[in-house]
Amino acid sequence: MAITTCIFDAYGTLFDVTAAARQASAEPEFEALRDKWPELAAHWRLKQLQYTWLRAVANAHADFWDVTQDGLDWSLEATGLQGDDRLRQRLLDLYWELQAYPEVPEMLAALKAGGLQTAILSNGSPPMLDGAVQSAGIEELLNDVLSVEAVGVFKPHSRVYDLVQKRFGCDRDEVLFVSSNGWDAAGASGYGFITAWVNRANEPMDRLPWTPAHVLPNLSTIPALAGL
């Protein structure tokens, strides 16, 4: 069956999650971050994800913004940067203005021009996602922005992927699901979506029962995968 709907994870897929730490490190008042920002960014992203998994398993859901702050606080302590309230606040402020990857606007525009439906499906809360979408200027290129807050559990729970069919009325094999998280792409594969893992860091495949249908270095070839 032909692809009718392209669904994208947000953080790390459309939006560069390292941008906040990288940008803050270039600002004169945060010189202490200059040599540590890659380490902090990596810790922050990993802890953010780990906390979503643990909360999902423990049935202890929280807003993704709370999880993001908890992940940052752990990472600041791990890198010896705890106690700098100005740095913490600056990093959090920048997270609401994450940069989109360079190929994102052209890729989404091609999908829209080809008549496909496009949406985000993310762990992010609606206000966070709205801030990122508005900052990147891609709101006109998306049919919708779907958040796990509608079902109260984080990915890769099947109730999250159910949101796509409920919103668009499509069959699972009409959906191209795209994520930079290998575990997310794998979970969506198990759910029945056609999947693409955007493996920007050239990481090994996760050892899970399912694997993505496609592995890509970036988002540039998504229109071709969708049949355009």
Residues annotated as catalytic (active site), given as ranges: 9
CA distances in angstroms from 227 to 145, 147, 196, listed in the order given: 23, 27, 14
How far apart CA 40 and CA 88 sit, in angstroms, is 12
SS3 content of the chain, % helix, strand, coil (to 5): 50, 15, 35
Residues 6+ apart with CB under 8 A from 211: 186, 189, 205
Residue the block writes with tokens 């945060």: 30
Tell me which residue of 205, 184, 219 sits closest to 49, measured CA to CA: 184
Residues making up the chain, counted from first to last = 228
